Structure 1
């Protein structure tokens, strides 16, 4: 294809994308972007990265920027299937043909073009305004960071938080709504749907969103993980993800996962299991929490894995409401506390804490209900922690529906329903 034809195709793609942006339904998200910054926006596929770019583009137009200065390319558009590193220069030329003023560049799923980071650095060095999205954490590797030289700020985008989900559904969640019987009931009903089907923005319009989530999962598994990493045994990868889903709420070792796969007929090396888990992490399908037990002199233990959206986890589970509840709380806490979030399991002290944030002095247990034996177990673990770590001052048990205040052995434990706790975290 000749260069001039390339530029005509690029113009068509750009103007078609303008129409998409004009008509997109945009729910405000929680992410603040400095108007003077260049950004790399990463996260799980279909979590809303593109819509965040749409919002930025529309804000620019509302501020008086002409549409001709908005250069938006979705690099998964089939018309750009042959797009290569050399073609980026054509984008700059097209922009100068469309406007005498400098453009604003938006590159969606840029990781599809090998070597993109060299172009991104050149654009930043030239003082251009650039926004980039990608669905793979390798975009943030130390090597990539060295190439980009700190010229881009980074935001990781997740699926809807519960407050955003309520906004998208048109449900109020202010103080009045939380204490109005009818409104609170509506919030609880929506939470039941949210924690079962997850927070993918586009899934909201589906009466039965499971099929949509399944399609996203297959795209992540087969495209973002298997194809991108040349996985030679995708069947083993599928079974591994199923086994990880079955371990949610439990710490598990690589050896255990390796032996589980071996027992069902997959003879892959332990190093391959580790690689597959790394690929799933890089694609934002999974995240893991480490054991903070080293604070108590015990040896570092095994990770706990969670899925980055409950809809994904629910593809694998049947009648596992407690696992879904804990996974949802894990997502919300990680969003709030990032790398500061751990779990705590110490055989030496007989302590098993679901979520532990040392810097915030907080411990959180998750139980579908604390009726019966669960009450003594959950309360007992928090009391033991209190005796071992005086820096912990906030003790919480998150349940499905129960509310209570427990005063015991010198500490106060809040028992709070998950829907309310997620809204508290969002407002923190």
Structure 2
């Protein structure tokens, strides 16, 4: 079987290494720096994983690695149908036949995209790391290359790098409007443009392909993304037999973005409508949707497993652009969109995130435990111009401080009066500034 694929593989290598490098928007993706590990580039469909692989290739080329030492190879090619894990040696053989001076002498980098279509790829990847002087990137459809699968299949030989839709900074960079100075140094006109860009981002989201589209085209595009995730990454992959229940679940979750969700209540509602579904099935569906990166759920921040289980989870879409697809009110919910955006900013920092219910009955949007051990309480509010609103948000943070003494307390707001009187220990951040990173430096 090897000889059947050899000419195609050789030609693909030649064509790739002769192709001009694409000009793409640089992404701010954190890469773990652990020698000897493969990097699995994961994330929701259409978030930009393939583009990110090309950017990593271009970066290494700019740093001095010759093109012959850099291999991008996509296995999503009908000419490779039937390729098995045992045939993958042909890729290595043909690469080093073309570039014999590289074998064992210099370190090259392989970017293997859509590798999950080849049965038995895991054994090949592990052996490649063990026997060749290669830096290895793996990526593919989230239906078959999820983080938990990579960890299992590669037996500890792979770490993950998550590619999400554009952040606010990346979206601005994409259209050539990324501020080149600290946002708090912008003139009035620049600040107004930044605030307008944030409002647009909250409504339209950050999927790269959706940038700049009119509302109808963007809606149809994003709807197609969701449909593919539900069909291929959840229903087909996990062999589920109740597609309508899954759609109802997604409608409930994304139609109430940033709201609380209880499997028990949803299950009771379905039963009242005569829909027979097991509660365990609903738990599995929610887990599958998170695995496919369509949404992220946040549990109560507590050391008590029982309290986490009996309290609702708060659910957020992977991208604010999806909210309009499921919100039947027809009105933009900028407050929940801002909360969703802040959550994803915290996740990009590597934070473990929960929400807080205080002894006084207040709720704080997020408790974030950062990798360096620092802890934040983060309250998100669209507009604190109203005195009563400001007092409520501050009181919630103060009440939560009793649970985490000494924690850093942040109030992130999009609209605020020129002067705000806050008690000691409460930091106020303009949302556009905080999202661009000035609060995290």
Report the TM-score when normalising by structure 2.
0.85
Give the C-alpha shift of residue 168 in structure 1.
1.4
Contact 2:42 2:145 in 1 (8 A): no
1:356 aligns with 367
- Inter-partner Cα distance in structure 1 for 2:185 and 2:214: 25
Could you give the per-residue CA deviations for residues 279-310 of structure 1, whole angstroms, max 9, x where no partner exists? 11111111121212447996753321111211
Residue 271 (structure 1) aligns with: 280
Q: How much has 1:152 moved relative to structure 2? A: 2.9
Within the alignment, does 1:213 sit opposite 2:227 as a pair? no
1:185 to 174, 189, 192: 192
Written as runs of structure 1 = structure 2, the 5 A alignment for 1:208-357 is 208=215, 209-263=218-272, 266-294=275-303, 301-317=311-327, 318-319=330-331, 320-339=333-352, 341-346=353-358, 348-357=359-368
TM-score relative to the length of structure 1? 0.87
Give the 5 Å matches for 1:14-413.
14-18=13-17, 22-32=21-31, 34=33, 38-63=38-63, 65-100=65-100, 101-102=102-103, 104-127=109-132, 128-136=134-142, 139-141=146-148, 144-145=150-151, 147-173=153-179, 174-175=181-182, 178-208=185-215, 209-263=218-272, 266-294=275-303, 301-317=311-327, 318-319=330-331, 320-339=333-352, 341-346=353-358, 348-357=359-368, 359-370=373-384, 371=386, 373-392=388-407, 394-402=408-416, 405-408=420-423, 411-413=424-426
Q: How far apart are residue 377 of structure 1 and its match?
A: 2.6
Higher helix share: 1
What secondary structure, in the 3-state scheme, does the structure 1 residue paired with 2:240 have?
coil
**Comparing 228-237 and 10-19, the one that deviates more:** 10-19
Kindly report structure 1 stretches of 4+ aligned residues shifted beyond 4 Å.
Answer: 15-21, 32-37, 63-66, 295-300
Cα distance in 1, alignment partners of residues 39 and 280 from structure 2: 34
- The whole-number CA distance in structure 1 between the counterparts of 2:284 and 2:112 is 28
Report the Cα distance in structure 2 between the residues aligned to 1:119 and 1:96, rounded to whole angstroms.
16
CA displacement 1:71-105 (0-9 Å, x = unmatched) = 32223334434333233122222213322124532
2:306 and 2:225 map into 1 onto residues whose CA distance is 42
What does the per-residue CA deviation read over 1:158-201, in whole Å, with 9 as the maximum and x for residues that have no partner?
22221122111211322267521222222112111211121122
Match of 1:422 among 424, 429, 435: 435
How much does 1:31 deviate? 3.4
Q: Name which of structure 1's ranges 108-117 and 154-163 shifts more when overlaid on structure 2.
A: 108-117
Count of aligned residue pairs for this structure pair: 421
Instruction: Evaluate the alpha carbon distance shift between residue 426 and residue 66 of structure 1 in structure 2; reply closer, same or farther with a 3 A threshold.
Output: farther
User: What is the CA RMSD across the aligned residues, in angstroms?
Assistant: 3.0
Contact 1:343–1:353 (CA under 8 A) maintained in structure 2: yes
Q: 1:33, CA displacement in angstroms?
A: 6.2
| Partner Cα separation in structure 2 for residue 20 and residue 234 of structure 1 | 42
User: Secondary structure of the residue that 1:355 maps to in structure 2?
Assistant: strand
Contact (CA 8 Å) 1:406, 1:415: kept in 2 or not? no
Structure 2 unpaired stretches of 5+? none
Alpha-carbon distance between aligned partners in 1 of 2:84 and 2:7, rounded to the nearest angstrom? 16
Comparing 54-63 with 238-247, greater Cα deviation is found at: 54-63
Change (3 A) 1:407 1:111: same
8 Å Cα contact 1:314/1:324 also seen in 2: no
Structure 1 CA distance for aligned equivalents of residues 306 and 95 of structure 2: 59
1:276 deviation in Å? 0.8
**Preserved contact between residue 135 and residue 284 of structure 1 (Cα < 8 Å):** no
For residues 110 and 377 of structure 2, what CA distance do their matches in structure 1 show? Answer: 44
2-side partners of 1:240 and 1:66: how far apart? Answer: 50
| Residues 385 and 68 of structure 1: CA distance in aligned 2, closer, same or farther (over 3 Å) | closer
**1:336–1:425 contact (8 Å) kept in structure 2:** no
Task: Render the CA deviation track for 1:109-128: whole Å, top value 9, x for unaligned.
Answer: 32333332211111111133
Gaps of 5+ in 1: none
1:224: Cα distance to partner? 1.9
- Contact kept? 1:105, 1:131, Cα under 8 Å: yes
Q: Cα gap change, 1:80/1:373 in structure 2, threshold over 3 Å: closer, same or farther?
A: farther
